[in-house]
Copies of this chain bind each other. A is one copy, B any other.
Amino acid sequence: MSKATEKAYSLIRENILSGTFAPGAHLKEGELVDLCGVSRTPVRDALRQLATDRYVVTRRNQGVFVNEWTVDDINDIFELRAILESMVAERAATHISEGQVQELGKIHQAIQAMLDENGPLLVDFFLEQNKRFHAILLEATRSRALADSLSQIVQPPLIAQTARQYSRQELQNSNDHHRDIVAALEARDGALAASVMKIHIISAQRKFMNSYVASEATEAAE
């Protein structure tokens, strides 16, 4: 992606993640041009990219709309992710380097340090470290197909929404999973790593669905 396109992509994406552009909203190219300060061509390029990243959907001759996820969609995504990330963990166990294992350990420790501080919960820090953790595992599999699939499946907005509702204890549980995964990888135990990863993702799913149905109920009552 080139400069102008990237600028448009980031700005539009942020507005979607922050909720300024609500699910289902019609994103008009003209308005986006005003927002981003670039011409329609890079705006259109950005929208195409956002479509492949599933932030928006395109309807011919009608434009692009912010993607709307149903409960079933979200459950599907988590279920698939559990399977794919398990594969990642399993394959990583056979291919991962010593250096990569150490990197994973450092990420676990960094999050743990934050949790031990008893200061404010830095969710953005957690999200970043968590993302890097999974990225290193993915890299260790050396599988383009897995990387492509997961990049398609993993929905940053959903992960962010999940993490922001984590309590300190839940963040601790999540990081404990990370610790167990690192241990399994050190022992080159792919099956164990896969099992822990599966639990890791399914825990996130349960947390997300609990808070999701709760918020839906609140909205309905309003």
A216 at the A/B interface (Cβ < 8 Å)? no
* A149 contacts B146, C-beta separation under 8 Å: no
Chain B residue numbers with a CB within 8 Å of A41 are 41
* B76 contacts A143, C-beta separation under 8 Å: yes
* B146 contacts A2, C-beta separation under 8 Å: no
- Between A49, A76, A77, the greatest number of chain B beta carbons within 10 A of the residue's beta carbon is seen for A76
Q: How far is the CA of A73 from the CA of B49 in the complex (A)?
A: 23
What is the predominant secondary structure among interface residues of chain A facing chain B? helix
Chain B residue numbers with a CB within 8 Å of A83 are 83, 87
A152 at the A/B interface (Cβ < 8 Å)? yes
A207 at the A/B interface (Cβ < 8 Å)? no
Chain B residue numbers with a CB within 8 Å of A54 are 148
Query: Which residue on B lies nearest to A86, using beta carbons?
Result: B83
A45 at the A/B interface (Cβ < 8 Å)? yes
* A77 contacts B145, C-beta separation under 8 Å: yes
Chain B residue numbers with a CB within 8 Å of A44 are 45
Query: Which residue on B lies nearest to A147, using beta carbons?
Result: B76
Query: Contact mask A67-78 → B, CB, 8 Å, 1/0?
Result: 000001100110
From residue A77, how far is it (CB to closest CB) to chain B in Å?
A: 5
* B144 contacts A73, C-beta separation under 8 Å: yes
Chain B residue numbers with a CB within 8 Å of A143 are 72, 76, 80
* Interface residue ranges of A29-49 to B (CB < 8 Å): 41, 44-45, 48-49
Chain B residue numbers with a CB within 8 Å of A146 are 76, 80
Q: How far is the CA of A1 from the CA of B61 in the complex (A)?
A: 8
Give me 15 other A-B pairs in contact (C-beta within 8 A), A2-B60, A54-B148 excluded: A2-B61, A45-B48, A52-B52, A73-B145, A76-B145, A77-B145, A80-B84, A80-B87, A80-B145, A80-B146, A80-B149, A84-B149, A148-B153, A149-B153, A152-B152
